[in-house]
Amino acid sequence: MEKMKRIVGVKVIQLDEVGSTNEYAKAIAHEVPEGTVVVAKRQTAGRGRKGRSWVSPKGGLWISVILKPPRVDQRLAFVGALAVIDTLADFGISAGIKWPNDVWVNGRKISGILVEGRAGEYSILGIGLNVNNPIPEELRENATSMMELIGSKLPLEEVLKRLLLHLDGWYRVFLEKPDLLMAKVREGTFILGKPVTVIEGEEKIPGIALDVLDDGSLLIDSNGQLKRIMYGDVSLRLF
Ligand code: BT5
C-alpha cells in the first residue's frame, strides 16, 4: 500500500513492502519532482552494487531519493554517506566512510549506498541504514545496527527526519560547493594512510590508500606506483 506524507517539507512515498526502493523510484522518477523520497518498511529484493543483495527486513531505513542533477555522478554516494554520518552523530554514534559507498562504525558496516541513474533524466540515491532491524547471523561479524550500538530501539521516523534534513544540506553542498563536499569526505574517510586491498573488476591491487580525489576516485600507492581507482571494493589489510 502506498501512502504519501510530507516530512520536513519533503514528499515521502511510504510503502509497506517493495522489491527495491531504487527500482520503484526509477519507475516513477519521470512523474515526480526532484527530491521525492521512497521509503519502504521492508524490501524483498534489496540490492547492493554488482548484483549483490542487501538484507532489508522491517526495522531498518530503506530509502531512495529521486534527484535530477545535471548528470549522474557517483559522488552523490558521498552526499548519502555524509548525511548518514551526521544522522548517526545526532544519536551519539561516531562513524566513518569506507570508500566508495559504505558507512562503518567500529569496523562494521552500518549503512550502504547505491547510486543509479540515467544521464540527463534522473539519479537515484539509495540508502540502507540498519536501525532496529536484526542483523542475520551470516553478516554479524561485519555488520551492525544503531539499536545494537545504542542498546535500545530508536524512533524510526525521527531517524528518517534527521536523515532527510542532512541529505538536503549535503545535496546543496554537492551542487554549490563540491570542493567542500570532497574535503568533508576526506576528513570522514578512515582508510586514508592505511594498507588496503582494492578489488577492481578481476584485479586485486594491494597498496596504501593516499587520498580521495576531487572526482571521487581513490588514489593508492601500490608498490611505489600511483594508481587511481574509479570504482571498486576496498578492504583493510592488517599487514
Ligand atoms: C551496498 O552495496 O552497500 C549498497 C546497499 C544499498 C541499499 C539501499 S536500501 C534502499 C535502496 N534500495 C535498494 O535496493 N538498495 C538501496 P555493496 O557495497 O555491494 O554491499 C553489499 C554487501 O553488503 C552484501 O554483499 C553483504 O555482504 C553486505 N550487506 C547486505 N545487507 C547488509 C545490511 N543490512 N547491513 C550491512 N551489510 C549488509
Q: What is the pLDDT of residues 119-175, one digit of tens each?
A: 989 999 999 999 999 999 999 999 999 999 999 999 999 999 999 999 999 999 999
pTM of the model: 0.97
* Structural domain includes residue 170: yes
Q: Is the CB of 97 under 6 A from ligand 1?
A: no
* Structural domain includes residue 4: no
Nearest to 111 by CA among 163, 157, 153, 68: 163
Same-domain status, 101 and 163: yes
* Structural domain includes residue 125: yes
* Ordered DSSP codes for 79-124: HHHHHHHHHHHHTT---EEETTTEEEETTEEEEEEEEEEETTTEEE
Rounded distance between C-alpha atoms, residue 197 and residue 209, angstroms: 9
* Structural domain includes residue 68: yes
Q: Is the CB of 128 under 6 A from ligand 1?
A: yes
Q: Is the CB of 26 under 6 A from ligand 1?
A: no
* Structural domain includes residue 199: yes
Nearest to 68 by CA among 105, 97, 33, 20: 33
Does residue 238 carry a pLDDT above 80? no
Same-domain status, 136 and 152: yes
Same-domain status, 86 and 102: yes
Q: What pLDDT is recorded for position 239? A: 57
Q: Is the CB of 59 under 6 A from ligand 1?
A: no
Kindly indicate the confidence band of residue 200, based on its pLDDT and cuts at 50, 70 and 90: confident
Which residue puts its alpha carbon closest to atom 25 of ligand 1?
Answer: 52
Q: What pLDDT is recorded for position 2? A: 80
Kindly indicate the confidence band of residue 103, based on its pLDDT and cuts at 50, 70 and 90: very high
Rounded distance between C-alpha atoms, residue 214 and residue 75, angstroms: 9
* Structural domain includes residue 2: no
Same-domain status, 26 and 83: yes
Indicate which CATH number applies to the domain containing 141: 3.30.930.10
Q: Do residues 167 and 174 touch, judged by C-beta distance below 8 A?
A: no
Number of folded domains that form the chain? 2
Does residue 102 carry a pLDDT above 70? yes
What residue numbers bound the domain in which 220 lies? 195-236
Same-domain status, 177 and 208: no
Q: Is the CB of 217 under 6 A from ligand 1?
A: no
Q: What pLDDT is recorded for position 92? A: 98
- What's the whole-number mean pLDDT along residues 177-185? 97
Distance 112 CA to ligand 1 centre (A): 5
Q: What is the pLDDT of residues 49-101, one digit of tens each?
A: 999 999 999 999 999 999 999 888 989 999 999 999 999 999 999 999 999 99
Same-domain status, 112 and 206: no
Other C-beta atoms within 10 Å of 187: how many?
A: 13
Same-domain status, 47 and 162: yes
Same-domain status, 143 and 93: yes
Same-domain status, 173 and 200: no
Indicate which CATH number applies to the domain containing 201: 2.30.30.100
